[in-house]
Structure 1
Amino acid sequence: MNYWLIKSEPFKYSWDNFVKEGKSVWDGVRNYQARNNMKAMQVGDWALFYHSNEGMEVIGIAEVTKEFYQDPTTEDPRWVVVEFKPIKKLNKSVSLKQIKEDSRLENMVLIKNSRLSVQPVLKEEFDIIIALSE
């Protein structure tokens, strides 16, 4: 299993919207590195759901339910989507501030490349964030 972090601005698409819909097509990604990360995702992988801009916090866990295919919002063949379902909301969210203050997470992509909307997460980093949410 691989681990990821996916970002969404809560005023556009929040965790609550995601849970209400029960699944989501992660579309509109227009960054090559994020696209390549989506192409590497496999069914069953888990992703931390991160509210960006407002909140700036990890709020829940999502699971990949369908691997990449052509993004239906564009005819440009370079862009893909992945489908997710919500697994669970964290007991308490984990803020970017908490992540930055934890030396065990200092090499996390979220810290090193904060603008990347779809990014890999090491299992150790995933486990630390889950522990911080308890």
Structure 2
Amino acid sequence: MAYWLFKTEPDAFGIQDLKERPGQTEPWDGVRNYQARNFLRDEVKLGDNVFIYHSSCKQVGIAGVAEVSREAYPDPSQFNPESRYYDPKATPDAPRWFCVDVTFKEAFAKTLLLKDIKATPQVTELGVVKKGHRLSIMPVTKTEWDILYAAASG
């Protein structure tokens, strides 16, 4: 099993939205960065744990946990001209973008704030603590997962 951090803007889609979905499952779609796409397509696997990280909001940080419940498949939004994620260069035979499905596991009582994550000396490799790192999907080491999970759920 691997560990991930998926960024989202909670006014568009947050941990509470996932919790309230039928079956508490939702496609994690709309990723339009090649490195993040490659993580989704090539490395994110069924059963992996995911921190849901809220950004561009007042309480920036880790808000909860989801689990990958379906591995990568072509993101349908790339084929829909009505979608803001439409990509005219993508075709069903040659998709450019992928998504995974995630299922709600847990919402933390309080968001583990970015300032607290940055203040944790054992957390040095996580992308959100590095200057200029803007990926929406990033790996989390097992050690960092354990430390951050304990801090968020404690």
2:92 pairs with 1:74: no
Deviation at 1:78, TM superposition (A): 1.1
Structure exhibiting the larger radius of gyration computed from Cα positions:
2
Deviation at 1:45, TM superposition (A): 0.3
- State which drifts further: 82-91 or 119-128: 82-91
Gaps of 5+ in 2: 80-89
2:51 pairs with 1:48: yes
Task: Report if aligned partners of 1:90, 1:130 keep a CA contact under 8 Å in 2.
Answer: no
SS where residue 6 of structure 1 aligns?
strand
* Distance in 2, Cα, partners of 1:48 & 1:15: 10
* Distance in 2, Cα, partners of 1:105 & 1:34: 21
TM-score by length of 1: 0.95
Task: Report if aligned partners of 1:9, 1:53 keep a CA contact under 8 Å in 2.
Answer: yes
What does 1:90-105 correspond to in 2, within 5 Å?
Answer: 90-105=108-123
* Distance in 1, Cα, partners of 2:46 & 2:125: 26
What residue is the counterpart of 2:15 in the other structure? 15
* Distance in 1, Cα, partners of 2:25 & 2:141: 24
| One-letter code aligned to 2:146 | D
2:50 pairs with 1:31: no
Gaps of 5+ in 1: none
Report how many residues are paired: 134
Calculate the aligned-residue CA RMSD, in Å: 1.1
* Distance in 2, Cα, partners of 1:50 & 1:132: 14
TM-score by length of 2: 0.83
SS where residue 89 of structure 1 aligns?
strand
What residue is the counterpart of 1:119 in the other structure? 138
Percent of residue pairs bearing the same amino acid type: 38
- Higher share in strand: 1
What residue is the counterpart of 2:87 in the other structure? none
